[in-house]
Chain A
Amino acid sequence: MRVPGVLGGDQKAATMRVLRVWDFPTRIMHWLLVGAIGFCWYTGETGDLEYHHYSGYVALWVVLMRVWWGFVGSSTAKFANFVRGPQTVFKYVRTLHLRNTPATLGHNALGAISVLALLAAVAGVGVTGLFAVDMDVLYSGPLSMYVDFKEGRWFARWHSTLFDVLLIVIALHLLAVSFYYAYKRQNLVASMITGKRKAPEVSGSELEVAPVWRLLVGAAIVSGIIYVIDTGFFY
């Protein structure tokens, strides 16, 4: 599909077309994580912990799946295609003030840090939650029997502290998305919903979608891991 569009700068003159950026699994994982974290936050704040661990499992499932997809997934999801060294990141940062830089197909060098920080923060919150002990022993994590009461309370506090860190990382992520929307005229949210964005005709690479069987294999492995964790290895 070819559409005329305006991005500004060098791209103004170029004919625009719609490019696929994100595959379906990456988008589903993103929004599933948003929902899971939202539900975790709500149930954690209200103390309504009966279903808290289910949303925690979903968040952990997404993190593990995203890591899997980062190695065997579609081109824009692969870590090797977007995680860059400090030099490239600094070079990119120095162009941030320019409004008309061409959009990257997938994550840019700075966005890569955001992805890794988000994944690490969610993993940290999730893993500490697995070992956290509820004071009233009603809603302790599935692996809490491997730590004593005091250690489990330590995990519970870190679970809470790391969630605060995660909120900060999310806030930075949202700030960055707003900055790209308002200053650079790039609607990253729409791309994460539709999987597409407008790009100049001259754009080089295109999204290479990974075969579905890789997704299914990953989903089976990761679901198995979550199931085993839920049993607390007592099965």
Chain B
Amino acid sequence: MSSVLFTRVVGIAIVLSVTATAIVTAAPADVAMIKSRQEKLRDMGSALKQIDDELKRRSPDWENVIQPNVQILHDRSPFLMKWFPKGSGPEAGAKTYALPAIWQKGDDFAKHARTMVAESQKLEQVFGKKDSGEMRAQVVALGKTCKGCHDSYRSPDYEKDAEQ
């Protein structure tokens, strides 16, 4: 084998192995986590919307519409922190608008997550009163906690993505 050919073969082998390593290090678990949390967060947004929409009606359906959606928000909020493990940021290789700041400012992000848990628990408590005005105020309070986190920890490019 000539030295030129040998160099080419070694070069191609290096390129292939680096590519393979990159594919392997894009951990499937992290990619799955990104997709899973996007769906869960979208469901939570949808749940909040359905509560908000129902409260605009003269006679809201508390049991069949509002209650199950309150449950979704209440039950899922405590898991929010678990949906953002280290490695599930942009480096994971899947499309995500989660900013690296989530992991760089972990304490502040965790504070936002705790606020969300508290507000969704309060939503469940307010639900018990069946008071549209109070419930609407709590929906706004919860929406503000969503916004607080989105403003700081989600890339603004999200708004331009047609698939989101």
Q: Give the interface of A toward B (CB within 8 A).
A: 47, 133-138, 140, 144-145, 148-150, 152-153, 156-157, 160, 232, 234
Contacts and interface: CB of A to CB of B under 8 A. Distances in A.
B12 to A, nearest CB: 43
Contacts of B164: 153
B162 A136 contact: no
A229 B42 CA distance: 27
Contact of B140 (A133, A138, A234): A138
A136 B144 contact: yes
A149 B159 contact: no
Across chains A and B, which 10 residue pairs bring their CB atoms closest together, nearest first?
Answer: A149-B46, A145-B53, A136-B147, A136-B146, A138-B143, A136-B143, A137-B48, A137-B143, A137-B49, A149-B49
A182 B58 CA distance: 59
B58 A138 contact: no
Contacts of B146: 135-137
Interface of B: 42, 45-46, 48-50, 52-53, 56-58, 139-140, 143-144, 146-147, 150-151, 159-160, 162, 164
A234 B146 CA distance: 27
A8 B164 CA distance: 57
Report which residue of A133, A138, A150, A157 has the largest number of chain B beta carbons within 10 angstroms of its beta carbon: A138
Secondary structure dominating the interface of B: helix
Contacts of B151: 47
17 contacts: A135-B45, A135-B146, A135-B147, A136-B45, A136-B144, A137-B45, A137-B143, A138-B140, A138-B143, A138-B144, A140-B49, A145-B52, A145-B53, A145-B56, A152-B49, A157-B162, A234-B56
A140 B45 CA distance: 12
A145 B53 CA distance: 5
A232 B55 CA distance: 12
A106 B9 CA distance: 75
Contacts of B58: 234
A231 to B, nearest CB: 9
Contact of A149 (B42, B56, B143, B147): B42
Contact of A138 (B147, B160, B162): B147
A149 B45 contact: yes
